[in-house]
Each structure stands twice: as structure tokens, then as C-alpha cells.
């Protein structure tokens, strides 16, 4: 092998490693608390558009991500998602049935779910899509709710505890 060929080979190896590091799976593990001042205005308080959890407890492994979402005076919602995108049951409060799936997409985590429950207006079905991204000790969750053909999107920012 010529010196030139060796140099090219080394450069390609280093380049591949750099790309690999840059595209490493994002890590979301930790306790995260909602930062209202950095979030959309219409997500908490007495007139939320889309409800976000006050706190998220996240445990991530190479294959799973466990999420427990809690809010003041609201029943917690939790799930252990497989990161291969397979469908799982979400542990929702009594009276709610929910399934969802999660998948890493580059530097983001995408969770989609379908929630159903009964009401005096009949059976209700709501679809959610959450896109998670992390920057240092800040977690941004963009949530879209689709119901009766109408969609709404809001953003929440969480600080790592």
C-alpha cells in the first residue's frame, strides 16, 4: 500500500468516527421540571391549550425509554417505550386507553400516541405527536394534538434537576 493510499484510509476512518460521534443517540435520562417562562404561554394554568406535564422522570437505555409524566392534581401518565418504534400500552389514568410508540430520529425522540376515553358526548379519540430535543440541561418538547380533524401545537421547555 502506498503512503497516499494509507493516508486516505486513515482520513476516511477518522471521518467515519467523527460522523459516528456527531450522530450518537441523544440521551434524555433524568428528572426534568417544566420551565414556564421558556414555554408556550397556553400550556399551563387555568386555560391550557395543550396540557404538558409539570415534571418528567426519564430513564433511557439502548433499547427502551421509560417516561413518567406528572402534574399537580392530575393522575400520572407513564410508559416504557421500545426505541424500535413498536407499539406499547401507556399506563394512563382510569378510564383512558392509550397506546404509543417512540423512535429516535437523528438527535430527536419522536413519540406518537392515540388516547381514547368516553365522555357525555360519546367516545373521544385524540392523537398526539411529541418531538423531544435536548440542548445541555434543557429539554424541549413540541407537542401536537389532533382531534376531530383539527391540530394544535405547543412547546414546553424543561430544566434538568
Using the rule CB under 8 A, which residue among 36, 51, 55, 153 binds other proteins?
51
Q: Does residue 119 interact with other proteins by CB under 8 A?
A: yes
Q: Which residue's CB is nearer to other proteins, number 115 or number 134?
A: 115
Q: Which residue's CB is nearer to other proteins, number 5 or number 123?
A: 123
Using the rule CB under 8 A, which residue among 27, 49, 105, 159 binds other proteins?
49
**How many whole angstroms separate alpha carbon 97 and alpha carbon 145?**
16
The footprint of other proteins on this chain (CB under 8 A) covers a number of residues equal to 31
**How many whole angstroms separate alpha carbon 67 and alpha carbon 160?**
14
* 3-class SS of residue 88: strand
Site string for other proteins, 69-108 (x = CB under 8 A): --xxxxx-x--------------xx--x------------
From 26-34, 44-52, 102-110, 133-141, give the range in contact with other proteins by CB under 8 A. 44-52
Q: CA separation (Å) from 9 to 1, 4, 81, 125?
A: 10, 9, 40, 55
Phi, psi of 41 (to 5 degrees): -70, -35
**How many whole angstroms separate alpha carbon 104 and alpha carbon 118?**
32
Considering only CA atoms, which of 20, 58, 53 is closest in space to residue 134? 58
* Contacts to other proteins by CB under 8 A: 41-42, 45-51, 71-75, 77, 92-93, 96, 115, 117, 119-122, 124, 126, 145, 147-148, 150, 152
Amino acid at each position: 500500500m502506498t503512503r497516499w493510499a494509507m493516508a486516505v484510509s486513515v482520513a476516511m476512518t477518522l471521518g467515519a468516527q467523527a460522523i459516528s460521534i456527531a450522530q450518537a443517540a441523544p440521551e434524555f435520562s433524568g428528572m426534568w421540571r417544566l420551565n414556564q417562562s421558556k414555554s408556550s404561554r397556553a400550556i399551563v394554568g387555568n386555560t391550557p391549550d395543550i396540557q404538558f406535564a409539570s415534571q418528567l422522570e426519564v430513564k433511557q437505555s439502548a433499547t427502551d425509554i421509560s417516561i413518567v409524566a406528572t402534574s399537580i392534581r392530575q393522575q400520572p401518565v407513564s410508559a416504557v417505550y421500545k426505541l424500535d418504534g413498536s407499539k406499547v400500552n401507556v399506563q394512563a389514568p382510569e378510564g383512558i386507553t392509550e397506546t404509543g410508540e417512540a423512535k429516535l430520529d437523528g438527535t430527536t425522540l419522536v413519540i406518537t400516541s392515540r388516547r381514547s376515553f368516553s365522555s357525555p358526548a360519546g367516545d373521544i379519540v385524540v392523537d398526539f405527536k411529541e418531538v423531544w430535543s435536548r440542548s445541555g440541561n434543557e429539554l424541549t418538547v413540541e407537542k401536537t394534538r389532533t382531534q376531530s380533524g383539527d391540530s394544535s401545537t405547543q412547546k414546553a421547555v424543561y430544566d434538568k434537576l
